[in-house]
Amino acid sequence: MPDVDYKFYTGTFHGKVSEAVFTRLKVYASAYLDERTMGRINDDLPENTVTKVKMALCAVVDAYHQNEKGGTVAAETNDGVSVTYAVGTAKSESRRLYDAAALFLGPTGLLYRGVM
| pLDDT tens column, 34-81 | 999 999 998 689 999 999 999 999 999 999 999 998 765 556 666 666
Over residues 12-32, mean pLDDT: 97
Structural domain for 88, as ranges? 6-108
**Backbone CA torsion sign across 34, 23, 2, 111:** positive
20 CB-near residues (< 8 Å, 6+ apart):
none
Q: Does 116 reside within a domain? A: no
How many structural domains are present in the chain?
A: 1
The pTM of the whole model exceeds 0.85: no
In a domain, 1, yes or no: no
